[in-house]
Structure 1
Amino acid sequence: MKTNFCTLLALIIGVLTSHRCSAETPNIVVIMADDLGYGDVSCYGATELQTPHIDQLAKEGVRFTNGYCSASTCTPTRYSLLTGTYAFRGERTGIAPPNSPAIIQPGTETVASLLKKAGYATGVVGKWHLGLGGPGGPDWNGDLKPGPLEIGFDTCFLLPTTNDRVPQVYVHDHRVPNLDPADPLWVGQKKPSPDHPTGKTHRDTLKMDWSHGHNSTIHNGISRIGFYTGGHAARFRDEDLADKWVEKSNEFMEAHKDEPFFLFFSSHDIHVPRMPHERFQGKTKLGFRGDAIVELDWCVGEVMKTLDRLSLAEKTLVVFCSDNGPVLDDGYKDGAIEKNGSHRAAGPFSGGKYSVYEGGTRTPFVTRWIGRIKPGVSDEMVCTIDLAASLAALTKQPLPNDACLDSFDVSGALLGQASAKGRDHLVQQDNGSRGTFGLRSGKWKLHRYQNKTARNVRVEQELANTKVPMHQLFDLSEDEAEKQNVLDEHPQVAARLQKQLDAIIENGRSRD
């Protein structure tokens, strides 16, 4: 009888423990696409290609119509996601060059460090682009620190910069794997290596031609930004990146299946150079850009399959988002414009990557937690910058007063709770701290440009580099495409929003 009682008690404790882990401390998987627009996936209206795995994620979770990233380029958005602080408050937060030192310094509170305090195993796989190493920059042949492991991650397997910038090597924790000491890796920004061809000197050898800017060192038939030589045994093929991210993500989830884990799956798709694996090439009529979207969708499906195989789907909160809006020609002649047809990468919005129009920062945003999140569509405003405060709240971790300065707890909205509200305003920036901002507050959207006139880069070819006035005001409830500047009709609204934007910038924080 005593044995039976002990066995029953153990079973009850096991059930309660399992319920607590799934209901209160879920595994967390954040999948961030790169340059994916609001209209690039079929659950957000794309008709020229299909994304069944992302669609399934949305069908089983909450699809946000007002989901944002905080900036319209990669480095500042990634900085803000991890730190919960607008990138314009930090230093060197514009698009990071190949030899950038670590932008997020040790001791900075991040999503990863908060979750690590909550007992999570933490890992990042994929594109980093937040710099590595001390003030002198990365020691490519030595220890690459500080880096992710110094700001809360237990492990990392990275593309250190972004793949249109050198070098084409992986970073595992603090080292470049497979380096041959007899062939050291050298990386430079402005001076070419005399023994390495470039996109200018050997343009006729390229398998993907450049259209602007990307004409330095050639690797794998593609020229990049910056120069490097050596490290040949450590280099990867562009076509294999997606497979490697899935492989390493699966390894991480399998290794930590019996404890809470946080995985940041930071895809490089669909950033240039778009060179999907051969099995995806030609799968769409949109050229390599469309094929890369299909490859991204496959990655999402593979991660979901692993969660199912490990019986973790009901114990895992999945967040799918993008680091900024879309761009067609971003430096390579890959057919993105010529084969675009009727596809609208930014959906109904104007702008795209590099701009503060809605298309630059309003992107696909989906949350799924089977059994906890009721499937549906939400119009609440949420942003990737809110993951820090929201996940801290979900795991009952207090936020230090001097950390995550612009991150709001919108966990209720992320979990699809009917009465929960998202944020009521959001600052959007283009790149770094150049003084170009958008402020959305309710139905209103203010643009402020640093100069009296500015050049807005829009995703639409015919509107690229359109000059705009220093201030613009749009009523998004009537004009979601931001075509009609109504500043003259509503000067008091414009003045109120300008005062609000100035206060957010000058006060040094949004969070009370």
Structure 2
Amino acid sequence: MHKPFDTLGRLSLCAAGLAPAAAAGQQPAAPPNVIIIYADDLGFGDLSCNGSRTIATPNADRAAREGIRFTNVHTVASTSTPARYGLLTGQYPWRKPGTGIAAGDAGMIISPEQYTLADLFKSAGYVTGAVGKWHLGLGETARQQWNGEIAPGLRDIGFDYSFIMAATGDRVPCVYIENQRVVNLDPEDPIAVSYEKPFPGEPTGRDNPELLRMTPSHGHDQAIVHGIPRIGYMKGGKSALWRDEEIADRITEKALGFIADNRGRPFFLYLGTNDIHVPRVPHERFAGRSGMGPRGDAVLSFDHTVGKVLDALDSLGLADNTLLIISSDNGPVVDDGYNDRAAELLGDHRPWGDFRGGKYSAFEAGTRVPFIVRWPGHVAANRISDALLSHIDLYASLAALCGAALPEGAAPDSRNHLGTLLGTDSEGAEYVVGINLSQTLSVISDGWKYIAPSNAPARNEATDTEMGNDPAEQLYDLRNDPGERRNVAAGNPGEVARLKALLDRIKARPSRSGR
């Protein structure tokens, strides 16, 4: 296989499609490490570097000062599972059935024969790790065996090391899984999980509210773990259960361990934080600090994780040779199933920034997410870019970075925008495509956004979110109306026809051509 390094072991930026003077004009002394910190439900307006005056995120702000802060980057979906699927496979999730929000016992959605982003890095000589939230299923089918090796697992899709939560904090099983085995499991107390019916004798949030320290606002009334009702039913595994207040610390600890253990060789780390997903139970040292209740405190916890990673890279002498990307899987949600006073205590804080909608939505706040790139000495500092980009394109862009050729059929929807990612050009993508919870597709191109017609509900009443669904075609001029308040489809039939045709062409066949 072609190796993109010269005889001194330096990355050839020409092999990555860039001039040797890319970014700040220096070549890295060794293949660059790559870390993606992927927050959960973090809104564009949740970071102070994105203009929030109601919360301080000094570590994310520091990363932005030392790199590029992007203002027009989109995830591929406004919910977790499909967004993560798109990022790690380079394929739009709507091309593959079964990529909706995964149950806690879902079979593995990325199949072992798919060539993942982790496979790409392994082919380029990297050691690969995944730490934190997974939510892409495990095992061949649902109802997997939790009490031995869980296979297939992350090792089968390119990750040398993994320490994960199977799904989300609000879904059972509430245990960590390291290298495909449940951590601290007592074989005399095996785990059983069901998403169909409760286990006899096991209390539930619905039937035993007296056992709860956090009550549900909607859903979330099944198994009780440490006083918090979850989605799904579980019994056993008592010695393996996580403590919610310690999840962020445990994830961060494992991520820092992976970085330290592999500091002498190139590595790729996918770090999925649990913050700021429900149930929001930040560590005691963050509780009450934000003044906005547990949701705001969880933002501070996320920022703390970012700071620990920055500090580790600095102390290990890895900062100048590590490309760090900070983003989120989708936009924000305030009340997502628990009575944690998030809406009541929000005050003047606007997690969605200037945009409309949020998690689950086809509107901008559903998919336009925070995005920061830091690589000292190679990415210019204190830059702001409004270039249009999609998470789907990280795959091909990072392939160009490490000079790896993609096998036939790999990452079919990903396009190389490494120059934009590193700040050497500002052209950005020709288009980005998104999908909401209702499977409504949208496309953005040349400052215009088209949302396809949908008969699904216009509002998610449980979360109080505008979904962006409408039986009529929608067209928004994002350059003059970023808040999507004026549907101008009727006055711009040419743009409607162009974007509809573009979306039809993208749906018809994957392509890495174009910007």
Q: TM-score range by the shorter chain?
A: over 0.9
| Partner AA of 1:455 in structure 2 | A
Alignment of structure 1 residues 407-418 onto 2, 5 Å: 407-417=414-424
Q: Which position in structure 2 is the counterpart of 1:157? A: 163
Which residue in 1 is equivalent to 2:19?
A: none
Distance of aligned partners of 1:402 and 1:15 in 2 relative to their CA distance in 1, 3 Å threshold: closer
**1:113 and 2:119 matched:** yes
Identify the range of structure 1 (483-492 vs 130-139) with the bigger mean alpha-carbon deviation: 130-139
Q: 1:59 to 1:457 in 2, by over 3 A?
A: farther
Structure 2 counterpart of 1:500, one-letter code = L
Q: 1:203 aligns with which of 203, 209, 219?
A: 209
Alpha-carbon distance in structure 2 between the residues aligned to 1:237 and 1:88:
35
* 1:320-399 paired onto structure 2 within 5 Å: 320-375=326-381, 376-399=383-406
Q: Structure 2 CA distance, aligned partners of 1:156 and 1:294?
A: 25
Hey, what does 1:240 align to over in structure 2? 246
Structure 2 residue aligned with 1:10: none
Shift in alpha-carbon separation, 1:101–1:22, aligned structure 2, 3 A = same
Q: Which residue of 2 aligns with 1:403?
A: 410
AA aligned opposite 2:393: D
RMSD, aligned α-carbons:
2.0
Aligned residue among 430, 434, 440 for 2:444: 440
Q: CA deviation at 1:470?
A: 3.4
1:103-122 superposed Cα distances (whole Å, 9 cap, x missing partner): 00012111110000000000
Q: Distance in 2 between matches of 1:445 and 1:360?
A: 14
Residue equivalent to 2:480: 478
Q: Deviations over 1:201-249 (max 9, x none)?
A: 1113211110001100000111001000001011110111110111101
Unpaired runs of 5+ in structure 2?
A: 1-5, 13-26
Matched letter for residue 478 of structure 1: N
Look up the match of 1:9. Answer: none
1:127-155: CA deviation from partner (whole Å, max 9, x where unpaired): 00000001354211122111211111101
Larger deviation, residues 315-324 vs 178-187: 178-187
Shift in CA distance, 495/119, structure 1 to aligned 2, threshold 3 Å: same
Residues of 2 paired with 1:435 and 1:449: CA distance? Answer: 11
Q: Which amino acid aligns with 2:458?
A: R
Give the helix-richer structure, 1 or 2. Answer: 1
Check the 8 A contact 2:361/2:466 in 1, yes or no. Answer: no
| Superposed displacement of residue 457, structure 1 | 4.0
Aligned equivalent of 1:11: none
Runs of at least 5 residues in structure 1 that lack an aligned partner in the other structure: 1-13
Q: Following the alignment from structure 1 to structure 2, what is the Cα–Cα distance between the partners of residues 269 and 124?
A: 16
- Residue 46 of structure 2 aligns to a residue whose secondary structure is coil
**Equivalent-residue separation in structure 1 for 2:29 and 2:270 (angstroms):** 21
Partner residue, 1:454:
457
2:119 partner amino acid: S
Q: Is the 8 A contact 1:108 1:151 kept in 2?
A: yes
Q: 2:489: which partner in 1?
A: 487
Equivalences for residues 80-229 of structure 1 within 5 A: 80-229=86-235
Compared CA separation, residues 505 and 19, structure 1 to 2 (3 A): closer
- The reply to whether residue 502 of structure 1 matches residue 504 of structure 2 is yes
Q: Residue 135 of structure 1 aligns to which amino acid in structure 2? A: T
Inter-partner Cα distance in structure 2 for 1:67 and 1:264:
18
Displacement of 1:25 after TM fit?
1.9
Q: 2:88 aligned with 1:79, yes or no?
A: no
Shift of 1:420: 4.7
CA distance in 2, matches of 1:435, 1:247: 37
Deviation at 1:500, TM superposition (A): 1.2
Q: Name the amino acid aligned to 2:129.
A: G
Q: Measured at CA, do residues 79 and 282 of structure 1 come closer, stay the same or move farther in structure 2, by a change above 3 Å?
A: same
Contact 1:287–1:335 (CA<8 Å) still a contact in 2? Answer: yes
- Match of 2:20? none
* 1:76-134 CA distance string (max 9 Å, x none): 01000000111001121000011100100012111110000000000000000000001
Instruction: Give the C-alpha shift of residue 503 in structure 1.
Output: 1.5
1:284 & 1:333 partners in 2: Cα distance? Answer: 18
CA distance in 2, matches of 1:347, 1:140: 41
Letter in 2 for 1:86: Y
Secondary structure at 2:121 match in 1: helix
Equivalent-residue separation in structure 1 for 2:97 and 2:30 (angstroms): 36
**Number of residue pairs matched by the alignment:** 495
Letter paired with 2:443: L
Aligned counterparts of 2:10 and 2:450: Cα–Cα separation in 1: 48
- In structure 2, the CA distance between the partners of 1:306 and 1:162, relative to structure 1 (3 Å rule), is same
Q: Which amino acid aligns with 2:412?
A: L
- Equivalents in 2 of 1:309, 1:410: separation in Å? 31
Deviation at 1:456, TM superposition (A): 3.7
Confirm or deny: 8 A CA contact 2:363 2:467 kept in the other structure: no
What letter matches 2:442 in structure 1?
G
What's the CA shift for 1:67?
A: 1.3
CA deviation after TM superposition for structure 1 residue 471, in Å: 1.8
User: Residue 47 of structure 2 is aligned with which of 28, 41, 66?
Assistant: 41
Identity of aligned residues (%): 46
Q: Does 1:308 align with 2:314?
A: yes
By how many angstroms is 1:255 displaced? 0.9
Secondary structure in 2 matching 1:439: strand
The superposition leaves residues 425-483 of structure 1 with CA deviations (integer Å, 9 ceiling, x where unpaired) of 0110013xx540111111110111432x532449994x656873332110101110001
3-state secondary structure, aligned to 1:474: strand
Using the alignment, how far apart are the partners of 2:109 and 2:359 within structure 1? 21
Task: Return 407-416 or 286-295, whichever deviates more.
Answer: 407-416
Q: Distance in 2 between matches of 1:88 and 1:23?
A: 40
1:213 and 1:327 map into 2 onto residues whose CA distance is 15
